[in-house]
């Protein structure tokens, strides 16, 4: 099995709307087939097509309903459904999916579109796991964000391959949880807030976990160099071999 992560964007908030920088998103491919699209915010649909053409992802995971994470979801849903003529598999925490259905997809429901025939919704079980295949699971956890948001640990055959904080401030419990993974994708920026971690906080944490690579996303274009080698920047088009 060959597993690869492809970054589609590192933007945030209004990055795409104002500056044309695609929102934060990445794709996990298994054996060169797009398996999981993580978030579908503003500018992501076009990025997806650039990298994967009309091969639809087997699953889409949505962390939360902010524009930079679900802004393109309505259009992508339509297109993916049209290309495959099969329901799109969308997953996430059940409370997040309720918000998305009610608010992001309201325009579809209101115009009489039978959305539920276009989407297979999949959410967590009692152990907070979303079982994608018998071998691949997402274990979701609540991020530290003002809008309800869930990150995940992705496991393949029980091995934690990738973790993602979603939009999240620095929180020791969350960071300890993602630090069991081969790589951790983390929301970071120069100056942190309650709901977004700072570069300093990430660097400090990463220095205690030298065997894990921490990839910062959501920074748009703020950058500085890090003295330790296991903190890196995600970049649009970056590919990381995972397995």
Binding part of the chain for Zn ion, among 59-67, 81-89, 121-129, 208-216 by CB under 5 A, reads: 59-67
Q: Pick between residue 80 and residue 150 the one whose CB is nearest to Zn ion.
A: 150
Quick one: which of 179, 180, 162 has its CA closest to 240?
Answer: 162
Nearest-approach distance from CB 240 to Zn ion, in angstroms: 21
Nearest-approach distance from CB 14 to Zn ion, in angstroms: 10
Positive or negative: CA dihedral 3, 160, 128, 95:
negative
Name all contacts of 50-58 with Cβ < 8 Å and 24+ positions apart.
Answer: 51/6, 51/8, 51/27, 51/237, 52/27, 54/83, 56/80, 56/83, 56/84, 56/88, 57/27, 58/33, 58/34, 58/89, 58/132
142 binds Zn ion (CB under 5 A): no
Binding part of the chain for Zn ion, among 11-19, 28-36, 44-52, 75-83 by CB under 5 A, reads: 11-19
Q: Tokens in use for 123?
A: 């959410």
Nearest-approach distance from CB 53 to Zn ion, in angstroms: 26
39 binds Zn ion (CB under 5 A): no
12 binds Zn ion (CB under 5 A): yes
- Which of 72, 167, 220, 236 binds Zn ion (CB under 5 A)? It is 167
Q: How far apart are CA 28 and CA 185, in angstroms?
A: 12
Q: Which residues bind Zn ion (CB under 5 A)?
A: 12, 66, 68, 167
């Amino acid at each position: 099995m060959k597993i690869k992560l492809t970054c589609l964007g590192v933007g945030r908030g209004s990055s795409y709307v104002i500056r044309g920088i695609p929102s934060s998103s990445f794709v996990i491919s298994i054996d060169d087939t797009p398996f999981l699209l993580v978030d579908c915010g503003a500018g992501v649909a076009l990025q997806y097509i650039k990298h994967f053409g009309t091969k639809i992802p087997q699953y889409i995971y949505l962390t939360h309903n902010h524009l930079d994470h679900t802004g393109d979801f309505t259009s992508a849903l339509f297109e993916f459904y049209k290309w495959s003529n099969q329901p799109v598999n969308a997953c996430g925490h059940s409370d997040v999916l309720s918000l998305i259905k009610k608010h992001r997809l309201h325009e579809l429901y209101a115009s009489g579109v039978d959305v539920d025939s276009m989407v297979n919704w999949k959410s967590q079980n009692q152990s907070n796991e979303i079982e994608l295949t018998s071998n691949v699971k997402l274990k979701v956890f609540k991020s530290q964000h003002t809008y309800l948001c869930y990150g995940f640990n992705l496991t393949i055959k029980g091995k934690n391959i990738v973790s993602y904080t979603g939009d999240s401030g620095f929180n020791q419990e969350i960071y300890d949880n993602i630090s069991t993974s081969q790589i951790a994708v983390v929301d970071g920026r120069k100056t942190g807030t309650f709901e977004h971690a700072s570069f300093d906080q990430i660097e400090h944490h990463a220095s205690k976990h030298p065997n894990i690579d921490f990839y910062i996303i959501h920074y748009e274009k703020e950058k500085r160099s890090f003295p330790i080698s296991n903190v890196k920047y995600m970049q649009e088009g970056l590919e990381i071999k995972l397995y």
